[in-house]
């Protein structure tokens, strides 16, 4: 078991070290490289995050300025946040906010270009696959500025009692064509703020921003916390600082990662929030299952196959990677075995079959790794295939894939990867570096193999990620998990396939229901080949109007499922149309849909229905109502707990002398000084 811990520990160190060494690109305004177009400025960038009831609502408001003599177009790009459903986009036209509508991607682009040609105000938010959200705004008038805001929602996990929220800003630097075409301006010239408000009925011990120690963290009450990062201009305006104003008050080049730690010893639980306007309507629910800590530690040994990205995008990072592998291998037991496979445009193994983890073997292969330089493209399939071929069916094995990039050579279709993994009984654990990796592909691969994918940001806390990975891999997993609900009519459950749950992982399920009343919820699965069932009975309410956002969250999860199906079974016009329809109905920006803002009268003239506007208004009202209320306890299994055990938490600890202890020491010190004086 310690072997697994050691490997994961070192690899996590390696991953974070690797990401650290590559943070060269950022969110920002884009200008074509080498063009004569003058640069626009980001004057203000304000981020407001509200986390409560199991999901986060993030609003980003920006002001772009044009200090030049002619009208210009602003194009702002930022990394796609994890599982973020963008449903609200506002553009201030003539000083008034106008919210956007979702159209098919091509149609939205045509309307935007048409309005731009006519010199009328227009703004467009598009998604570029898993890589970026791109916002185009026209015009930014000469000598003037424009204000826009974007709101997205995403479910929030607290794995092993540690919650994590990431505001992604760093660009991974893996899309070379894009990076060579555009020049990024990530400087905020006037004001930057990041404010996070957190409300939870579960007691929270602490908050932490590992890369932003200057953040102000306040506990407002037993159930409310706030986190704030404010720049110099903002502070001096509020009279809290007299510091001089720098020319760039903030650079949008570092992810903001926020952790919170729940109190220890909290029970495993099921929480649920619902949305149902009228008793006869179809309701939507979001169920968050936090399992009890009942998975036993693993004691048998394994073979380890390291599949390491050796492509050009790893240049400059590879030495960190070698260090990490070295550390991992040096901690293996002599009876454990390893292989190392590198991939760029081809895959090659640098070991001669499985090698026992003896110090001389490790030293030999580390020298071999260090003598090479990464280069060329990324044939991920070749690397994975080579890794799978190398497995010994007589021994328990695991693949550890470390990559920062995108499969761009050889087989690149998601389906090919999923087919490959489905043919083999092996767990794949992927470490996804940075914001620009092909996260959907890597996550799907891990899910198909019943492994897991772990996202690692430059701003992550190294010890935290180590503990998270170690905790998962050193315990049995709950496989082939299925959820069934009886006693009430439930449909459209998503995710369609849950797969495996590792120690400390939460399960979040969305679905629709009709009627109301008591329902029995069973979660079934297998642990070490034996069936296991957890059961609880609780009420689905007749109505609930506090959480209209979960309709969008359901739609986003449904779209993910449909996209997975498309990737697996190949292009299918019906499924593509279904994605488009769901996205338009729920006002979501996807690969197939974009959000456009026009002058109010132009919506009418172009016959674009204001469906999203009423949804946005409903959500904004609900947010105000939630804020006005106290913190809600959404636990639904209190009367019949689904789990007997407490939820998992990380087994580490420390203690410190504190203000109170030092206060106690003060009289001791005085007494000591008094006796010194007396005796001297």
Partner 1 sequence: MINRRVPVLTLGIMIVLIGLHLLVPDKTQLYFSATEICRGQAWRLISGHLMHADLQHLLWNCLGLVVLGTLLEYRSRRALITSLGAGIIFVNVLLLTPFSQLDYYCGLSGVLNTLLLVALWVEWKLTRSWLIIVLAFGSIVKVLVETSQGISIVTDISWPPYAWSHLAGLSGGFFVIYIHTRWFQDQYPLTH
Residues lying near partner 1 in the complex (CB under 8 A) are found at: 1-2, 5, 9, 13, 205-206, 208, 210, 213, 261, 264-265, 327, 461-463, 466-467, 470, 649-662, 664-665, 667-669, 671-672, 674-676, 679-680
Query: Could you write out the DSSP letters of every residue in 298-319?
Result: P-S--EEEEEEE-SGGGTTTHH
Q: Least distance from C-beta 208 to partner 1, angstroms?
A: 5
Q: Which is nearer to partner 1, 121 or 461 (CB)?
A: 461
Q: Tell which phi-psi region holds residue 132, choosing left (phi > 0), alpha (psi between -120 and 50) or beta.
A: beta
Q: Least distance from C-beta 8 to partner 1, angstroms?
A: 11
Q: Which is nearer to partner 1, 574 or 658 (CB)?
A: 658
| CA distance linking residue 573 with residue 679, whole number of Å | 94
Q: How many CA atoms lie within 13 Å of 555's alpha carbon, on the beta-carbon side?
A: 22
- Taking each helix axis as running N to C, give the angle between helix 611-628 and helix 573-586, from 0 to 180 degrees, rounded to the nearest 10: 50
| CA distance linking residue 167 with residue 169, whole number of Å | 7
Q: Least distance from C-beta 210 to partner 1, angstroms?
A: 8
| CA distance linking residue 125 with residue 102, whole number of Å | 9
Tell me the CA distances in angstroms from 298 to 301, 336, 472, 565, one per residue in order. Answer: 9, 15, 10, 33
Q: Least distance from C-beta 618 to partner 1, angstroms?
A: 39
| CA distance linking residue 647 with residue 293, whole number of Å | 5
Q: Which is nearer to partner 1, 239 or 654 (CB)?
A: 654
| CA distance linking residue 429 with residue 453, whole number of Å | 6
Tokens 């004001």 correspond to what residue?
Answer: 191
Q: Is residue 518 within 8 Å of residue 479, measured between CB atoms?
A: no
Q: Least distance from C-beta 52 to partner 1, angstroms?
A: 23
Q: Least distance from C-beta 429 to partner 1, angstroms?
A: 19
Cβ contacts of residue 466 below 8 Å, gap of 6+? 8, 9, 12, 13
Q: Least distance from C-beta 645 to partner 1, angstroms?
A: 14
Q: Which is nearer to partner 1, 239 or 653 (CB)?
A: 653
Q: Least distance from C-beta 372 to partner 1, angstroms?
A: 24
Q: Which is nearer to partner 1, 8 or 388 (CB)?
A: 8
Two structure tokens written together for 330: 């040096």
Main-chain dihedrals φ then ψ at residue 282, nearest 5 degrees: -80, 130
Q: Least distance from C-beta 563 to partner 1, angstroms?
A: 37
Q: Which is nearer to partner 1, 322 or 597 (CB)?
A: 322
Q: Which is nearer to partner 1, 159 or 186 (CB)?
A: 159
Q: Which is nearer to partner 1, 530 or 677 (CB)?
A: 677
Cβ contacts of residue 274 below 8 Å, gap of 6+? 283, 284, 285, 286, 513, 540, 541, 544, 547, 550
Q: Least distance from C-beta 632 to partner 1, angstroms?
A: 25
Q: Least distance from C-beta 647 to partner 1, angstroms?
A: 14
Tokens 């986003």 correspond to what residue?
Answer: 556
Tell me the CA distances in angstroms from 165 to 168, 234, 357, one per residue in order. Answer: 9, 24, 38
Q: Is residue 450 within 8 Å of residue 479, measured between CB atoms?
A: yes
Q: Is residue 475 within 8 Å of residue 452, measured between CB atoms?
A: no
Q: Which is nearer to partner 1, 297 or 630 (CB)?
A: 297
Other CB atoms within 10 Å distance of the CB of residue 58: 20
Q: Which is nearer to partner 1, 449 or 459 (CB)?
A: 459
- Parallel, antiparallel, or unpaired for β 452-456 and 427-433? parallel
Q: Is residue 377 within 8 Å of residue 403, measured between CB atoms?
A: no
Q: Least distance from C-beta 51 to partner 1, angstroms?
A: 19
Cβ contacts of residue 593 below 8 Å, gap of 6+? 102, 103, 104, 105, 108, 580, 583, 584
Q: Quick one: DSSP state of residue 146?
A: E
Q: Least distance from C-beta 464 to partner 1, angstroms?
A: 9
Q: Which is nearer to partner 1, 110 or 206 (CB)?
A: 206
Two structure tokens written together for 134: 């791109």
Q: Tell which phi-psi region holds residue 270, choosing left (phi > 0), alpha (psi between -120 and 50) or beta.
A: beta
Two structure tokens written together for 196: 């996070």
Q: Is residue 660 within 8 Å of residue 305, measured between CB atoms?
A: no
Q: Which is nearer to partner 1, 621 or 665 (CB)?
A: 665
Counting every residue written for the chain, the total comes to 680
Q: Which is nearer to partner 1, 209 or 507 (CB)?
A: 209
Q: Least distance from C-beta 293 to partner 1, angstroms?
A: 11
Q: Least distance from C-beta 655 to partner 1, angstroms?
A: 4
Two structure tokens written together for 310: 């050796």
Q: Which is nearer to partner 1, 176 or 205 (CB)?
A: 205
Residue 114, Cβ density class (10 Å: 0-12 exposed, 13-18 middle, ≥19 buried): middle
Q: Which is nearer to partner 1, 601 or 657 (CB)?
A: 657
């Amino acid at each position: 078991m310690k072997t697994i811990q050691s490997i994961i520990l070192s690899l996590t160190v390696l991953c974070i070290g690797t990401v650290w060494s590559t943070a060269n690109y950022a969110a920002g305004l884009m200008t074509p490289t080498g063009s004569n177009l003058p640069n626009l400025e980001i004057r203000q960038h304000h981020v407001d995050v509200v986390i409560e009831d199991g999901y986060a609502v993030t609003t980003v408001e920006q002001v772009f300025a044009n200090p030049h003599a002619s009208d210009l177009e602003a194009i702002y790009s930022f990394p796609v946040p994890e599982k973020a459903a963008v449903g609200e986009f506002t553009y201030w036209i003539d000083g008034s906010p106008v919210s956007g509508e979702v159209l098919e991607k091509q149609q939205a682009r045509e309307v935007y270009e048409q309005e731009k040609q006519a010199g009328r105000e227009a703004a467009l938010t598009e998604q570029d696959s898993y890589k970026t959200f791109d916002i185009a705004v026209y015009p930014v008038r000469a000598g003037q500025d424009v204000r826009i805001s974007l709101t997205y929602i995403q479910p929030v996990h607290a794995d092993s009692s540690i919650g994590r929220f990431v505001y992604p800003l760093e660009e991974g630097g893996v899309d070379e064509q894009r990076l060579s075409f555009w020049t990024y301006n990530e400087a905020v010239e006037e004001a930057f703020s990041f404010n996070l408000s957190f409300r939870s009925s579960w007691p929270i011990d602490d908050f932490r921003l590992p890369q932003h120690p200057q953040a102000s963290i306040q506990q407002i009450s037993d159930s409310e916390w706030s986190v704030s990062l404010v720049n110099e201009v903002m502070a001096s305006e509020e009279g809290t600082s007299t510091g001089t104003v720098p020319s760039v008050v903030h650079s949008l080049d570092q992810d903001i990662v926020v952790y919170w730690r729940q109190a220890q010893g909290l029970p495993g639980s099921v929480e649920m929030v619902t949305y149902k306007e009228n008793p006869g309507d179809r309701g939507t629910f979001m169920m968050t299952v936090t399992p009890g800590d009942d998975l036993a530690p693993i004691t048998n040994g394994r073979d380890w196959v390291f599949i390491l990205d050796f492509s050009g995008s790893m240049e400059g990072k590879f030495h960190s990677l070698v260090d990490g592998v070295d550390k991992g291998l040096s901690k293996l037991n002599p009876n454990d075995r390893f292989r190392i496979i590198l991939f760029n445009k081809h895959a090659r193994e640098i070991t001669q079959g499985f090698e026992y983890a003896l110090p001389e073997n490790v030293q030999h292969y580390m020298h071999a790794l260090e003598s090479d330089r990464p280069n060329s493209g990324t044939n991920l399939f070749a690397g994975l295939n080579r890794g799978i071929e190398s497995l010994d069916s007589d021994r328990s094995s695991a693949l550890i894939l470390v990559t920062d990039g995108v499969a761009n050579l050889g087989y690149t279709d998601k389906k090919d990867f999923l087919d490959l993994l489905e043919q083999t009984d092996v767990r794949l654990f992927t470490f996804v570096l940075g914001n620009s990796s092909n996260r959907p592909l890597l996550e799907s691969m891990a899910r198909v193999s019943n492994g897991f994918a772990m996202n690692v940001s430059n701003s992550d806390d190294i010890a935290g990620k180590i503990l998270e990975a170690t905790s998962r891999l050193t315990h049995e997993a709950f496989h082939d998990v299925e959820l069934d609900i009886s006693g009430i009519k439930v449909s459209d459950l998503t995710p369609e396939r849950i797969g495996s749950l590792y120690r400390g992982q939460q399960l979040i399920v969305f679905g629709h229901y009709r009627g109301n009343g008591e329902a029995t919820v069973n979660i079934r699965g297998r642990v070490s080949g034996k069936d296991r069932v957890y059961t609880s009975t609780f009420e689905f309410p007749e109505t609930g109007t506090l959480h209209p956002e979960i309709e969008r969250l359901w739609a986003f999860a449904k779209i993910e499922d449909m996209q997975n199906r498309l990737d697996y079974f190949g292009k299918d016009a019906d499924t593509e149309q279904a994605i488009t329809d769901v996205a338009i109905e729920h006002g979501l920006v996807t690969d197939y849909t974009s959000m456009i803002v026009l002058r109010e009268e132009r919506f009418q003239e172009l016959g674009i229905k204001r469906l999203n506007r009423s949804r946005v208004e409903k959500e904004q009202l609900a947010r105000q109502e939630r804020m006005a209320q106290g913190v809600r306890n959404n636990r639904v299994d209190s009367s019949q707990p689904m789990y007997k055990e407490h939820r998992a938490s990380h087994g580490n600890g420390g203690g410190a002398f504190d203000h109170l202890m030092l206060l106690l020491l003060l009289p001791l010190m005085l007494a000591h000084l008094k006796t010194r004086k007396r005796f001297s």
